[in-house]
């Protein structure tokens, strides 16, 4: 077999942590205050304010800054993929290095190539998430430009509110895709520990879940963001 039972268990646990936490975070955000929920509320407030402003230059600049950050990660992902493919072509040399590490079990060139191939797929997924986020931020820029008509055309308040709500949701979806790309980087770092030992992969995956959970639901910045809306952490 290509993978030992321990390797297979570690890989399955890794994907269980990644996919399981993603589903958990999406479902829990609907019932519990977290970074995703409070940012969605603040984005709605932002676009509601935009609907009554004559000049959106500052708002466009803010969207552009975030878009450039996402573009940086997308470009970096391409460089990482290039590095992984380069290492994939020199798997035999990687085997020699890994077999020199005391804690690392004996490995083979085929197993190293398999691990590197999965790592490449992980970063390809991250690239798609980042580029989709970039496109959605572009859509937000279009909506921001269209919002001028609602102010200059003296549109009814109900139309402004509806436009602001849907525009904020597009912006929120852009942020979610960006967050998924960043989360992929977190788990990719945990995945690298598989090259050392499958037990370390299991431990690293659990640590990443703990770190993500703490930052999403128990961080100090969350408490401060909730305070801006008068919310008490842990209560809906």
Q: How far is CA 36 from the centre of its chain?
A: 11
What is the pTM assigned to this prediction?
Answer: 0.90
What percent of the chain lies above the pLDDT cut of 70? 96
* Lowest mean pLDDT segment, chosen from 47-51, 90-94, 162-166, 228-232: 228-232
Q: How far is CA 195 from CA 3, 72, 74, 121, 173, in A?
A: 13, 27, 25, 16, 34
Q: Give the sign of the dihedral formed by CA 90, CA 91, CA 94, CA 95.
A: negative
CB burial of residue 77 (10 Å; 0-12, 13-18, 19+): buried
CB 116 within 8 A of CB 88: yes
234 pLDDT more than 70: no
Give the DSSP letter of residue 233: T
CB-based contacts of 66, cutoff 8 Å, min separation 6: 137, 178
Summary mean pLDDT of the chain: 90
233 pLDDT more than 60: no
Concatenating the DSSP letter of every residue in 75-118 gives HHHHHHHHHHHHHHTTHHHHHHHHHHSTTSPP--HHHHHHHHHH
Q: Where residue 232 falls among pLDDT bands split at 50, 70, 90?
A: low
**What digits encode the pLDDT tens for the residues 33-81?**
899 999 999 999 999 888 888 778 888 899 999 999 999 999 999 999 9
The reported pLDDT for the residue numbered 159 is 86
The reported pLDDT for the residue numbered 183 is 96
Q: How far is CA 41 from CA 66, 139, 169, 231, in A?
A: 18, 19, 10, 12
CB 201 within 8 A of CB 191: yes
């Amino acid at each position: 077999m290509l993978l030992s039972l321990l390797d297979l268990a570690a890989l399955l646990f890794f994907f269980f942590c990644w996919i399981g936490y993603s589903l958990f975070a999406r479902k829990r955000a609907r019932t519990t205050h977290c970074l995703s929920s409070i940012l969605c509320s603040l984005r709605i407030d932002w676009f509601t304010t935009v609907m009554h402003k004559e000049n959106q230059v500052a708002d466009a600049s803010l969207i552009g800054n975030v878009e450039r950050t996402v573009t940086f990660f997308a470009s970096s992902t391409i460089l990482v993929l290039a590095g992984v493919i380069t290492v994939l072509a020199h798997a035999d040399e990687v085997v020699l290095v890994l077999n020199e590490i005391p804690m690392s079990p004996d490995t083979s060139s085929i197993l190293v190539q398999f691990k590197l191939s999965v790592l490449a797929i992980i970063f390809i997924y991250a690239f798609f998430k980042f580029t989709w986020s970039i496109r959605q931020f572009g859509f937000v820029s279009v909506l921001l430009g269209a919002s001028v008509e609602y102010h200059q055309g003296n549109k009814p308040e109900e139309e402004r509110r509806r436009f602001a709500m849907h525009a904020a949701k597009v912006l929120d979806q852009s942020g979610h895709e960006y967050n998924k790309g960043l989360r992929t980087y977190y788990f990719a770092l945990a995945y690298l520990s598989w090259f050392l030992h499958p037990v370390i992969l299991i431990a690293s995956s659990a640590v990443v879940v703990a770190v993500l959970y703490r930052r999403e639901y128990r961080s100090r910045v969350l408490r401060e963001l909730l305070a801006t809306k008068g919310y008490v952490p842990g209560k809906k």
